[in-house]
Structure 1
Amino acid sequence: MDSIDWRAPSGEKVVDYDRRNLALYAALLEADDAGRDWRDAAATLMQLDIAHEEAETCWRSHLERARWIVGEGLATALVAFNARMTQ
């Protein structure tokens, strides 16, 4: 996986970072829905060193962003992803 930011984007605009990490977002949602421990998901899906003091915050911010994209931000995300594909 490409390097990830310690904090996922926030706000109501889909950015390139979201596009690049859409597969990660999906995997995080799947892992959370399956009840996987955050440490396992952070280590395997994000290649984070879970001993790092920011690891849980990083994992949580990406999971929250994933939830926003498939929830409240879905309409915005669909428009943004479609616009990118037609350019």
Structure 2
Amino acid sequence: MKKPELDPIVADIAPTDSALTPYDEQHVVTYTRLLQAESEGADWREVTRIVLRIDPEREPDRAHNAYLTHLARAKWVTEQGRLFRDAGSK
């Protein structure tokens, strides 16, 4: 796996594939930031603005959907355990 980008462009909806995707590999840092923000109790609007770079005031539905789908994917990736283990091994 290539080194993940620090600030990749985020899609409106995260993947839902049953296997890891190139998008997942590219967004390791994004997923980590989302999980950390959730564990700290951060407001989803602030997280969306900072991490996903979507303005929740201008595009509330898009922002919320992107947040929910990416957070769910981050949790799925973590539960699978494989992505973060692979990311640190190369």
TM-score (norm 2): 0.79
8 Å contact kept, 2:78–2:84:
no
How big is each residue's C-alpha offset from its partner over 1:1-36, in whole Å with a ceiling of 9 and x where there is no partner? Answer: 222110000121101100110001001000000000
Q: Of 5, 9, 15, which aligns to 1:3?
A: 9
- Please, what is the CA RMSD of the aligned residues? 1.7
Distance 1:35 1:78, change over 3 A: closer
The answer to whether the aligner puts 1:54 opposite 2:62 as a matched pair is yes
The answer to whether the aligner puts 1:67 opposite 2:75 as a matched pair is yes
The aligned residue for residue 41 of structure 1 is 47
State the percentage of identical aligned residues.
24
Counterpart-to-counterpart distance in 2, 1:28 and 1:61: 11
One-letter code of the match for 2:49?
A
One-letter code of the match for 2:66?
C
Counterpart-to-counterpart distance in 2, 1:31 and 1:64: 13
TM-score (norm 1): 0.82
Count of equivalent residues: 80
Counterpart-to-counterpart distance in 1, 2:65 and 2:19: 21
Counterpart-to-counterpart distance in 2, 1:22 and 1:69: 9
How big is each residue's C-alpha offset from its partner over 1:38-86, in whole Å with a ceiling of 9 and x where there is no partner? Answer: 0010001111111212110101100000000111x224x368x47xx5x
**Runs of 4 or more above 3 Å deviation:** none
Report SS of the residue matched to 1:13.
coil
Distance 1:78 1:4, change over 3 A: closer
The answer to whether the aligner puts 1:20 opposite 2:38 as a matched pair is no
